[in-house]
Each structure stands twice: as structure tokens, then as C-alpha cells.
């Protein structure tokens, strides 16, 4: 792939060369795209036919109760029928499904057969523990194979998993367990991070104390560190898996297309995280189709998505889409720069990874150490690469492209969200690329950048990013709060029936989309999604704080860093020690990813007359900029 054409003075076009396009399933975008939006249901029905259904659907799209769309109604399937069962009937049976490497360098592999066996065994354990179809089971685990086995086992019996990212802490976990009314929690004693064991079980214990719905907790022994086990509540995974209850024969539950597969909590603009619900049918079709066309997976490929299974990226593109496509997926437990910044490049060489998918923050972090760490390794197995989670700046894009991809691996900059289930705006391997642009909509999607009234903004102008149509991978609702689902996503453009993404973006004159970032009170820190309100409520749960405001400030490494302004209760005085204590408090409550970089003490917060914090004003102040229109300021 060479920089063989220049589109205009600002945007170089990078054209994929033949070594990549010769594989590509899609040879031409425009015509297929047009067809896919002209006959959306026809497009999705054709894709769905590529999956296994116990019973075919009656209707592709049921839009009788907008915005609660339903897909493939009347159909019966189970994501496991496609991710495991059907492969056991073909030569994929003995292919590697999962390669796992632990941070200390330990390794395990599972063929589809072996993965299927472990999933069946654990599914039987769950049943023996009283799990039933429709129960929500919370999973709080490090990046070990058992997290994948646990997710798949839930799906197999028709239970609904709610994975809480292993980097979250006590209150975040407790809140999610309570919201889901989970009876069963699956966890581990800990994991390894930068050479040290983490203490997941201790966090889980405190969360279970705060949120007492759990009566069965199953823990994997990973670190071997001492940990508390409560009689009749806590069980070791390996003990249960060694018992006769863990038979390797288990029928996959035949779920309805619209039966829930998982809940995944994500931060929104309120303090309470939203449990987005995804289903067996539509999600399976959407995740597998996007993966197949965008990353062009071939039978001999090794795929590595270096995300955590605890986020949507991991759900869709470490676990479900690769397995549905019969691919070999890699999972790595540790940090990219431990013990040295060549850890990832070493893994690519060692396992012969062909397609690699990561975040801009990770790329920027590794770029800081220079090219020599990557240059030590043979990265010639790479064919395609990807980026997700936040906008990638052209400098990082070019480093990734030149230093890691050696100038011949196109970068699939995929824009999507927890809510969307899979890629929404993304290149295909044949798409001419512009560094920093997620390029064009995936098939079936009409995407636009509009003003508040819904009018398309001119090319190059900023506006709200909206999706004009339903798609099979869309979240169906917010668990227990359908009104909020309407309020957050569908009310803004109710008349038009469009989905509001919460992002601002631009479209250029070639129809390429450029994501600018969130335009609500959601922060993207190192690609992680956090709500201002969540950080604020963690801060005010400290006895010294009466009010707090959290904002994001631009950062060249993390995209954004958290800046908090706090008001002290009477009797407390500002000090460096208190700042440290507050940061630690946020670590303990929410997790280290939510730790503010700066905490500033103030007497008052700028508020509107109706009492809303004007975060815009705080941001301008922190950046030393003009404070803008202050007419709504309280005083």
C-alpha cells in the first residue's frame, strides 16, 4: 500500500494495494452500499441466512413499536449454535479457537472442541447452582480464558451475562450487581497486571456486602494469593469443574431471536450506569457480518483484538464475532508495556498474528518509546490493522501505519458504541483511507451529521452524529428503564425517528466521516467511557466533599484526562494530602481509570439558574480560554 494519490491539499488518500484487496470479500463499496440501504431487510436477511437457526424467522424487522425495534422475530437460534456448535460438525472442530497468554508468560490454547467441552461443563455447573434461562449473571474477572468460558456458558443456557470490567472497583461493581439483581457472581482471586497480582475477590467481597443479592460466588484460582471464601456462598471454579455436576454434555438452549444475550453497563450522563441489552438473534447477525467484511477474516488467520473482554469491543470482537466466524482469537492478560514496551510486538511475532485491533491511546503510549521496540520483531505476518474507542490523531495513525504495518496494512478505524453492538462507520479493506477518518457507513446504515433541527450541516461543519435507521445489532433497551432509552437516544430527533449517538462529527466533501468526540457529559479517557456524574458521585461519597464537578481536558496521550473541582464541607481544609486521599477514594469506589488527574478546591461551582453545573465554563477556565455566553449563569 503506497501513498500513491493526493486527494487535496489537506487529505492524503492511502490506497490499499493488491496484497490486501485480493483477499477482500467486498470488491466494490458504492453499489453494494446503495443496495443495502434500498433493501435493508433484504441485505440483513441474506446475511442472517449464513448463520444457523433452529427455526427461521417470520419477519426480518418488526418496527411496530418504535424505537423498540425487533429483528428476526419468530426465529430461534443461540449465539452458541453459531460460535461453537456448528463448528464441531466441520473441520473447524480441531482448529484453535482461543490462544491465551498470561502476563507472566504462561499460555493455554483451546481448540473449538476443547472450548465447547469447557463451556458445556461450566454451563452444567451454572445449572447445578440454580441458574435459569433469563437470569442475569454478573462476571467480574481478569483477562483469562475462564472469562470467555463463563460468558459462553451463560449464553448456552439462555442466561444473560453482565460483565463488569475487571478494572472497576467496589461501588461500580456493587451498583451493577444491584441493578441487575444478580444471584450469581463469577470472579477470580485476582489477575496479573504489571508483574503484580490484583485483588479481585477482595473487591468482590466488599461489593457483595454492599449489594447482597448474590448467593453464589464462583471464583477462579488465578494468582494463588490468600483470599477469603465464605462458606456456602463462595466456591472455587476448579472444585466445581472437577465434580460430576460438570458433565461435558449440555444441550444448547434454543433461544428466541429477541431473547437477551447480555447486559453491558455503560456510562451515560446520569450518575447511574445504563445496562444496555443485546439479543441473541440480531446481535449475532450484526457482529458476525461486520467482522467478516471489515476484517476480512480468512480460515488460516490469527486475529488479535487487544481489548478487555469486559467492554463491548471485547464482547463483540474478542469473543462472539471471531468465534462465529470460526477464527482463532487471541487473549492477552497484561499491559502492553510490561515488562518492556515490545510486549505486544513480541506477541504478534510469536503467534503470527495477521490482523491486529487496538486503541489510539495504546498506539500513542507505545509510540512514545520509539520505533526500535517494534523493529526488533518480525511483524510481516500482519495484513490488516484496526483502531477503536476514540478519534485517532493523524500522527498516531501514521506511526501505526508505517512502523507497525510497514506501510502495507490498511487501518480499519471503526466507529461504534456499546449501544450499536458492532461497527457503524468503518472502512473496508478496499477503502482508500484518510488518516483520522473512520471513512464511511457500514452496509445498511444511513448516517448523517445534522444541526439541532435535523438539517444536514454543510461539508466540513460540525454537528450531531445521527443514525437514521434501525440495524440488527442495536441495543434493544436499557435494563429496567425503557423511558431512559427513549429519552437518551430517540427523543432528540423524535420527529425524524433518528438515533442520537451523543458524538459530534463532520463529513467532508467526499462523504468521509470525522468523529470529533462526545458532545454530552460522557468522557473518553484512554478510550474508556466514563460519565462526569459518576466521577462526581464517587467524589461526594467522601466525607470531606459536598459538591463536585468533573470535566475532561485534552491530553496528548490519553485523549482526555479528568479534572475535578470540589467544594469542601465545613471543617475540612484544602491540602495536598486531601487531594491524594480523594484520588485514592475514587480508585477504591470506581477504579483507577476514573482517578482524576487534577483536583481543585473551590468555594462555588458555576451553575445555571436551574441549578445545573456549567461544565463548559469550568473547562474554559481550566484551559485559560474565554468563558463564552454566561447569560444563564446563576450569578
User: Minimal distance in Å, beta carbon 273 to ligand PRX?
Assistant: 11
Residue of 284, 324, 291 lying closest to 305 (CA atoms): 291
Stretch that binds ligand PRX, among 71-79, 452-460, 496-504, 599-607 (CB under 6 A): 496-504
Which residue has 490468600 as its cell numbers? Answer: 226
How far the first Cα of the chain sits from its last, in Å, is: 58
Q: Which residues, at least 6 apart from 34, have a Cβ–Cβ distance to it below 8 Å?
A: none
**146 belongs to the binding site for ligand PRX (CB under 6 A):** no
The DSSP result for 319-386, as a single string, is IIHHHHTT-EEEEE-S-TTSSSTTHHHHHHHHHT-SEEEE-HHHHHHHHTT-THHHHTS--TT--EEE
540 to each of 14, 221, 534, 543, 592, how far by Cα in Å?
49, 35, 10, 7, 17
147-172 b/e (C-beta count within 10 Å ≥ 16 → b): bbbbbbbbbbbbbbbbbbbbbbbbbb
User: Minimal distance in Å, beta carbon 553 to ligand PRX?
Assistant: 16
**388 belongs to the binding site for ligand PRX (CB under 6 A):** yes
Kindly tell me the sign of the dihedral angle through the C-alpha atoms of 304, 308, 312, 316: positive
Stretch that binds ligand PRX, among 23-31, 35-43, 109-117, 386-394 (CB under 6 A): 386-394
Contact 566, 548 (CB under 8 A): yes
Which residue has 477503502 as its cell numbers? Answer: 431
Binder to ligand PRX among 237, 357, 415, 443 (CB under 6 A)? 415
- Output 122 or 443, the one with its CB closest to ligand PRX: 443
Site map (CB under 6 A) of ligand PRX, residues 238-277, x = contact:
----------------------------x-----------
Binder to ligand PRX among 296, 413, 521, 589 (CB under 6 A)? 413
**DSSP conformational letter for 586:** H
Binder to ligand PRX among 145, 432, 441, 502 (CB under 6 A)? 502
Binder to ligand PRX among 417, 437, 439, 464 (CB under 6 A)? 417
As a whole number of angstroms, the distance between CA 124 and CA 343 comes to: 37
User: Minimal distance in Å, beta carbon 525 to ligand PRX?
Assistant: 11
- Could you say which residues in the range 427-446 bind ligand PRX, by CB under 6 A? 438
User: Minimal distance in Å, beta carbon 413 to ligand PRX?
Assistant: 5
As a whole number of angstroms, the distance between CA 179 and CA 271 comes to: 13
Beta strand spans in 407-512 (E):
411-413, 447-450, 463-467, 499-507
Count of positions on this chain that bind ligand PRX (CB under 6 A): 23
Binder to ligand PRX among 173, 220, 312, 478 (CB under 6 A)? 312
- Could you say which residues in the range 105-144 bind ligand PRX, by CB under 6 A? none
**390 belongs to the binding site for ligand PRX (CB under 6 A):** yes
User: Minimal distance in Å, beta carbon 516 to ligand PRX?
Assistant: 8
Stretch that binds ligand PRX, among 119-127, 154-162, 284-292, 410-418 (CB under 6 A): 410-418
Contact 355, 387 (CB under 8 A): no
Which residues of this protein are in contact with ligand PRX, per CB under 6 A? 266, 312-313, 387-391, 413-418, 438, 501-503, 515, 517-518, 524, 529
Amino acid at each position: 500500500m503506497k501513498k500513491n494519490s493526493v486527494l487535496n491539499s489537506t487529505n492524503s488518500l492511502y490506497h490499499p494495494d493488491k496484497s490486501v484487496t485480493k483477499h477482500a470479500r467486498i470488491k466494490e463499496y458504492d453499489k453494494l452500499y446503495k443496495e443495502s440501504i434500498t433493501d435493508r431487510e433484504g441485505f440483513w436477511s441474506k446475511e442472517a441466512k449464513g448463520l444457523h437457526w433452529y427455526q427461521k424467522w417470520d419477519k426480518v424487522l418488526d418496527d411496530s413499536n418504535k424505537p423498540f425495534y425487533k429483528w428476526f422475530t419468530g426465529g430461534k437460534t443461540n449465539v452458541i449454535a453459531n460460535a461453537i456448535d456448528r463448528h464441531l460438525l466441520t473441520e473447524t472442530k480441531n482448529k484453535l479457537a482461543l490462544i491465551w497468554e498470561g502476563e507472566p508468560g504462561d499460555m493455554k490454547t483451546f481448540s473449538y472442541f476443547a472450548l465447547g467441552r469447557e463451556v458445556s461443563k461450566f454451563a452444567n455447573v451454572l445449572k447445578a447452582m440454580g441458574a435459569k434461562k433469563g437470569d442475569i449473571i454478573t462476571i467480574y474477572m481478569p483477562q483469562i480464558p475462564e472469562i470467555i468460558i463463563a460468558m459462553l456458558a451463560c449464553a448456552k443456557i439462555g442466561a444473560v451475562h453482565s460483565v463488569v470490567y475487571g478494572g472497576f472497583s467496589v461501588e461500580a461493581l456493587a451498583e451493577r450487581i444491584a441493578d441487575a439483581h444478580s444471584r450469581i457472581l463469577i470472579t477470580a482471586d485476582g489477575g496479573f497486571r504489571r508483574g503484580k497480582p490484583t485483588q479481585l475477590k477482595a473487591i468482590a467481597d466488599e461489593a457483595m456486602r454492599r449489594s447482597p443479592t448474590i448467593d453464589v460466588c464462583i471464583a477462579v484460582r488465578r494468582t494463588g494469593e490468600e483470599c477469603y471464601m465464605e462458606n456456602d456462598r463462595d466456591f472455587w471454579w476448579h472444585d466445581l469443574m472437577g465434580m460430576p455436576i460438570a458433565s461435558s454434555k449440555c444441550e444448547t438452549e434454543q433461544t428466541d431471536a429477541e431473547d437477551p444475550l447480555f447486559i453491558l453497563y455503560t456510562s451515560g450522563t446520569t450518575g447511574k450506569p445504563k445496562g444496555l441489552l443485546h439479543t441473541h438473534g440480531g446481535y449475532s447477525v450484526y457482529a458476525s457480518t461486520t467482522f467478516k467484511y471489515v476484517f476480512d477474516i480468512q480460515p488460516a488467520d490469527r486475529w488479535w483484538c487487544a481489548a478487555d473482554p469486559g467492554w463491548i469491543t471485547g464482547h463483540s470482537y474478542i469473543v462472539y464475532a471471531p468465534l462465529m466466524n470460526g477464527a482463532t482469537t487471541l487473549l492477552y492478560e497484561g499491559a502492553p508495556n510490561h515488562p518492556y514496551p515490545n510486549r505486544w510486538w513480541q506477541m504478534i511475532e510469536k503467534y503470527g498474528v495477521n490482523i491486529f485491533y487496538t486503541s489510539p491511546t495504546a498506539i500513542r503510549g507505545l509510540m512514545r518509546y520509539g520505533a526500535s521496540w517494534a523493529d526488533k520483531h518480525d511483524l510481516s505476518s500482519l495484513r490488516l490493522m484496526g483502531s477503536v474507542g476514540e478519534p485517532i490523531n493523524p500522527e498516531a495513525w501514521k506511526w501505526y501505519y508505517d512502523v507497525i504495518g510497514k506501510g502495507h496494512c490498511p487501518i480499519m478505524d471503526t466507529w461504534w458504541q456499546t449501544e450499536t453492538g458492532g461497527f457503524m462507520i468503518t472502512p473496508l479493506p478496499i477503502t482508500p483511507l484518510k488518516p483520522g477518518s473512520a471513512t464511511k457507513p457500514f452496509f445498511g446504515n444511513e448516517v448523517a451529521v445534522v444541526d439541532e433541527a435535523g438539517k444536514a450541516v454543510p461539508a466540513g461543519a460540525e454537528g450531531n452524529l445521527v443514525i437514521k435507521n434501525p440495524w440488527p445489532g442495536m441495543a434493544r433497551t436499557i435494563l429496567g428503564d425503557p423511558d431512559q432509552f427513549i429519552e437518551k437516544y430517540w427523543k432528540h430527533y423524535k420527529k425524524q425517528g433518528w438515533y442520537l449517538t451523543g458524538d459530534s462529527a463532520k463529513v467532508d466533501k467526499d462523504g468521509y466521516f470525522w468523529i470529533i468526540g462526545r458532545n454530552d457529559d460522557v468522557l473518553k479517557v484512554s478510550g474508556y467511557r466514563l460519565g462526569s456524574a459518576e466521577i462526581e458521585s464517587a467524589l461526594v461519597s467522601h466525607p470531606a466533599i459536598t459538591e463536585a464537578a468533573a470535566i475532561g481536558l485534552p491530553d496528548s496521550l490519553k485523549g482526555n484526562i479528568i479534572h475535578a473541582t470540589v467544594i469542601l464541607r465545613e471543617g475540612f481544609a484544602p491540602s495536598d494530602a486531601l487531594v491524594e486521599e480523594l484520588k485514592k477514594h475514587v480508585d477504591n469506589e470506581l477504579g483507577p481509570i476514573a482517578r482524576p488527574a487534577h483536583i481543585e478546591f473551590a468555594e462555588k461551582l458555576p451553575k445555571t439558574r436551574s441549578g445545573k453545573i456549567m461544565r463548559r465554563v469550568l473547562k474554559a477556565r481550566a484551559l485559560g480560554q474565554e468563558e463564552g455566553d454566561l447569560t444563564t449563569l446563576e450569578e
